[in-house]
Amino acid sequence: MVLEAEKLGISEIIATPHYNDFLYPGSGIIENFSIIKSRVAGCDIQLHLGYEVFLFSELFEKTGELKEKTLNGSNCLLFELPYDHIPLYTGDLLFRFNIEKMIPILAHPERNRSFVRSFDSFIRFIENGCLVQVDAASIAGAYGAEVKRFAERIIKLNLAQFVASDAHCAEDYANWYLPAYNQVKRWAGEDYAGRVFGENAREIISVNGQKAGVNESE
């Protein structure tokens, strides 16, 4: 996967393994990440560690621990919702994140059925301080026309701050990442594509434990 990313000119990757106390408890991730870093040490690409945190009610008891699950030690926390609904406790958790001085980044909202049915529901997350990350595969049409249309709406309104490869295998980079970049350029222009595919993520990488200064969408 790293070699395929390097072929596309990607110089840095924030790896975001899933964090869910029930399915993906996080044990061994740091050790495995260190092994991977050593194996790709000869590549012209840098790896950084973050997590994709699945929202579940027990997080109320773990909000302090979540500071260890942010992206590259920044104050940005990537989280995902269930695909078929928005849990009732979500607003309270977002408020708790704010108290802990964490900036929540909503992963792949275009794939959430509740958002597809109600764009206003999605907008409320932005109003509550969430940044937005869209998947490259969604933009390229991998999840169907409806998801692609929702992603297009987000991009054309400049509501996303990040586009992620969401790569789970090497082929994902060639199949989705480059086509998605070209599509975003057509939808919203080269400057915006540059921000969501690179510049904003570099802000998170550069802070290394300090407050991230991600460029807001214009």
Tens digits of residue pLDDT in 145-181? 999 999 999 999 999 999 998 877 767 777 889 999 9
Domain annotation for the chain: domains and CATH numbers: 15-23+49-207 (3.20.20.140)
Please write down the HEC assignment for all residues of 48-92: EECCEEECCHHHHHCCCHHHHHCHHHCCEEEEECCCCCCCCCHHH
CB half-sphere exposure, 78, CA atoms < 13 A: 25
Question: pLDDT tens digits, residue range 45-81?
Answer: 889 999 999 998 888 887 778 888 999 999 999 999 9
